[in-house]
Amino acid sequence: MDSHQFDSHKLVFFFGDGEAEGDATMKNLLGGKGANLAEMTRIGIPVPAGFTISTEVCTAFYKNNMENPRNLYWRVEAALGQVERVMDSKFGDPKNPLLLSVRSGARVSMPGMMDTVLNLGLNDTTIEGLIEQSGDRRFAYDSYRRFVQMYGNVVLNVQHDRFEKRIERLKEETGKTQDTEITADEWKQLVADFKLIVEEETGGQFPDDPMDQLWGAISAVFKSWMRPRAEKYRELHGYPSDWGTAVNVQSMVFGNMGDDCATGVCFTRDPATGDKRFYGEYLINAQGEDVVAGIRTPQQITLEGKKIINSNLPAMAEVMPKLYGELVAIYRRLEQHYRDMQDMEFTIQSNKLWILQTRNGKRTTKAALKIAVDMVQEGLITKEEAISRVDPKSLDQLLHPTLDPNAGKTVLAAGLAASPGAASGKVIFTADEAEEWAEQQDEDVILVREETSPEDIHGMNAARGIVTSRGGTTSHAAVVARGMGRPCVSGCSAVKIDMADQSFTVEDIVIRKGDWITIDGSTGEIMKGKVPTREPALTGDFAAFMGWVDECRRLNVRTNADTPDDARVARRFGAEGIGLCRTEHMFFEGDRIIAVREMILAKDETGRRKALEKILPMQRGDFEGIFREMKGFPVTIRLLDPPLHEFIPHDKKGQKEVAASLGTTLGEVKERVEELKEFNPMLGHRGCRLGITYPEIYEMQVQAIMEAACKLVKEEKFTITPEIMIPLVGNVKELAFLKERCVTVCERVMASFGVPLTYLIGTMIELPRAALTADEIAKEAQFFSFGTNDLTQTTLGISRDDSGGFIQEYVGKAIFEQDPFVSLEKNGVGQLVRMGCDKGRLTRPDIKLGICGEHGGDPDSIDFFEKVQLDYISCSPYRVPIARLAAAQVALNNGNGKMKKEEKK
């Protein structure tokens, strides 16, 4: 649409004197601030009159080469006339001037990201009217100075410190230390000096005409929507740039006209803890920014707040008891009206209370849970509404140790926030040493590597946290760390590792082996030394809230777990089974790696089977432990997937150790390594291809699975349905070949134990051809588990371990909406998942369908999995609560929530 053709739309919305042309439902058009100003006006809250320019005008502004639509001008002038009538003053009038604030207002709160101008309308003529109105010449010139400074910075792009340095120079010249000591004449001189600064910096004069000032401020607010800080904020929170911002033009009220004036910010409940107590700060004789700028020490609003912080300064309840009572009545009314905790801004001018803003207050996750639970118990909201109000991703704050927010820290570098939580430890550069220091010396260690591999699993498990200089958020280090609940910072290219020197550098700072560092996997920061952390505490509110969550969701939530410890953690977080148990990680533990390498180096099947006999009891013990932890819940075990070369060292020293341990020669080891070498291992001799080439490997694993299950069923009366998953199938003939051998082993084991057991054999759908031919594969498979990590790689032709260097460029340039390894790419990969589901059900209507890639813990992806009606999602243990909450939210959004079904009956 041509941005000049807006006649069919209302662009400007007035509010004031109990009437408003908008309401709280119009946030997309009026922004959150504008919609709430209109709503408060409608319900009789004292709000200074004003008008809102809609977000559609912002969109038009950018389509029209950053110029306002022509038909906006008369509409703004008409709305301004309404404001003048309500406030009984006139914009630009020398005797009775109306002064304005101009603020941004997107549909979601973006605090501090966009621009504001206050006291607009002042010039050398209207200042006399403000002096007469207020009777305070110093206040008037202070307001004028603030306006020129703010307008010069926000609208005319003059650096803020140019003005601040001039104020500091005045203080030095006059021997003053506080702004409050500066006289009216001195503020007047600073106004003139500030205008000269503007002229020096811009080459033009500061605008004196109030209408020119207004249009400059309106355009500046629109321009602030695309400022780098606002763009970064939207990127971090996933907000699209085409939303645009509204502009709120509102009558000024002053909290700095004397001791019967004040300004403040308050919350209807404590935003840190969620406690039901009125909470906030105020200042007498101050403007709004003074409360948050730290120039003056703010005072508590309530007596309770004063006691909590042990303040000697009088509370508002003591100094202004009548106005405090009015504020209490308003906050209670607003919380009841919006049915949520409110963040309010207010100003008192000449003993009259004005509410400048209300919005749903930002809060910690702990507070969000408590407020949601309390409001349900108070009858203010329903359980479904409570569930919708907590961001699933924010639950990470409760599940991992976090840095003490009051502790000091020295940040060395920042990488990718790959696995949440915080940890301190001594720097170690190899997995072996990490395990040795942790187990034998009882040291806390941070494993620092260029990248990790499955062979590092023992060191990763021993470490308190992991840092890699390469790799993305779905790299091996990131995926395994999340599964273990270890904090991880990945892809930190600023960290330059020198293995020979056993150190890493960040610019000119050297960190050596044994030095302490702290990492925050929730922010990606790496810090020097030890920073205190706080352990998570899953409160009663958490348990109650998650109980409601489980009542609502349709999708079952399993976990990806490779050890009994992983399974135990996942069950504590509410996992309903295991969707992926990766057997290769077990191969690296203890003495079994020797037997695995013996199997790989064997020259024939007889030698391989001899080595596999040594591994069999170890694998059986692993599976028994996992089945025991998951008693009564399904367990899907993936047979060996990675190529064999990953189990043999590629360096000479490691190969010598292998040769010595197996009684063979270095030459034979090197020869076997060369035979196994692949140029593209991800698409090489792995997965079911290993099982077809060496059937004895899969036979041993299936035997171990079934013997563990049969033993527990027979001896301890367990109910177990093992799910045996064959990886990387692309052709139904591969699955048929391996399934026949698996069934033979299963039947033999059951016969030997005398235990009839139901078991399932299925496959991972991780290749495009598997999805395209899912109807054929379903003839042999009793379940599909979509391995979306590899399916994304093979569909997009992008290696997840090598994409870190460019994937954010793709996101930044809007080629991808999000990192496809973090959130499912729905148009391509998602369509293959949908096709696999549809084709699989066509052949086998009762086929079980799940997903075990990292996307199983991503709320945006879970919405898609609900829509294609998967039976379960599976994710790392520490993401299970996130997945549970996301599954409940998408079920409610799609009409599949159990609570909604009960209401419909």
Residues designated catalytic:
476, 852
Which of 283, 271, 281, 274 is CA-nearest to residue 302? 281
Alpha-carbon gap, residue 72 to 452, rounded angstroms:
58
Q: Is 818 in contact with 861 (CB distance < 8 Å)?
A: no
**Tokens matching residue 849:** 């369908």
Q: Is 866 in contact with 801 (CB distance < 8 Å)?
A: no
Range list of β-strands (E), 633-747:
635-638, 722-726
DSSP letters along 324-393, please?
HHHHHHHHHHHHHHHTS-EEEEEEEETTEEEEEEEEEPP--HHHHHHHHHHHHHTTSS-HHHHHHTS-GG
Alpha-carbon gap, residue 406 to 900, rounded angstroms:
43
Measure Cα distances from 668 to 598, 643, 662 in Å.
12, 19, 11
**Tokens matching residue 633:** 């819940």
How many angstroms from the chain centroid is the CA of residue 798?
Answer: 24
Which ranges of 43-121 would DSSP assign to H, the alpha helix?
A: 55-63, 72-87
Q: Is 643 in contact with 685 (CB distance < 8 Å)?
A: yes
**Tokens matching residue 427:** 């720097």
Residue 524 DSSP class: T
Which of 293, 294, 298 is CA-nearest to residue 315? 298
Residue 809, Cβ neighbours under 10 Å: how many? 10
How many angstroms from the chain centroid is the CA of residue 324?
Answer: 37
**Tokens matching residue 825:** 């790419």
- 3-state SS class at 826: helix
Measure Cα distances from 824 to 484, 781, 788, 795 in Å.
23, 24, 8, 12
Q: What angle do CA 710, 712, 715 make, to 5 degrees?
A: 100
Alpha-carbon gap, residue 883 to 873, rounded angstroms:
8
Handedness of CA 299, 301, 307, 309 (dihedral sign): negative
- 3-state SS class at 167: helix
DSSP letters along 605-666, please?
HHHHHHHHHHHHHHHHHHHHHHHHHTTTS-EEEEPP-S-GGGGS--SHHHHHHHHHHHT--H
Alpha-carbon gap, residue 426 to 833, rounded angstroms:
43
Which of 614, 613, 618 is CA-nearest to residue 586? 618
Residue 783 DSSP class: E
Residue linked to tokens 């920014």: 289
Which of 368, 11, 366 is CA-nearest to residue 222? 11
Alpha-carbon gap, residue 207 to 195, rounded angstroms:
9
Alpha-carbon gap, residue 95 to 841, rounded angstroms:
79
